[in-house]
Amino acid sequence: MEIFGSFDRAAPFYLESLAMFEELGDELAAADLRFRVAANLTNRGDVAEGARAMADALAEFRRLDHRIGEAQAVGYQGYIASRGSDLATAADRFETSLAIAREVDWPWWALHMLSNLAEVNRRLRRLDDADRDAREALGIADELGDRMSMVFSAAEVAWVAALRGDVTTAGRIWGAIEAEEEVAPIGQWPAQRAEYEAAVRGTGGPQFERGREQGRLLSLVESVDEDQIEP
What does the mean pLDDT of the chain come to?
92
Q: Are residues 143 and 88 in the same domain?
A: no
CA angle at residue 218 from 214 to 219, to 5 degrees? 150
Residue where one domain finishes, among candidates 85, 105, 125: 105
Look at residue 230 in the predicted model and tell me its pLDDT: 57
Residue where one domain finishes, among candidates 74, 89, 105: 105
Residue 155 confidence (pLDDT) above 60: yes
Q: Are residues 92 and 129 in the same domain?
A: no
Look at residue 65 in the predicted model and tell me its pLDDT: 96
Separation of alpha carbons 21 and 34, rounded Å: 10
Q: Are residues 49 and 121 in the same domain?
A: no
Measured over the CA atoms of residue 140, residue 203, residue 167 and residue 121, the dihedral's sign is negative
Q: Are residues 195 and 163 in the same domain?
A: yes
Q: Are residues 123 and 165 in the same domain?
A: yes
Q: Are residues 88 and 154 in the same domain?
A: no
Q: What CATH number does residue 64 fall under?
A: 1.25.40.10
Q: Which of 226, 79, 88, 108 is nearest to 157 (CA)?
A: 226
Q: Are residues 146 and 70 in the same domain?
A: no
Separation of alpha carbons 130 and 153, rounded Å: 10
Domain that holds residue 54: 1-105
Residue 116 confidence (pLDDT) above 70: yes
Residue type, 215: G
Residue 81 confidence (pLDDT) above 60: yes
What is the tally of structural domains in the chain?
Answer: 2
Residue 226 confidence (pLDDT) above 80: no
Look at residue 10 in the predicted model and tell me its pLDDT: 76
Q: What count of residues does the chain have?
A: 231
Look at residue 173 in the predicted model and tell me its pLDDT: 97
Summarize the confidence of residues 81-91 as an average pLDDT.
93
Residue where one domain finishes, among candidates 62, 78, 105: 105
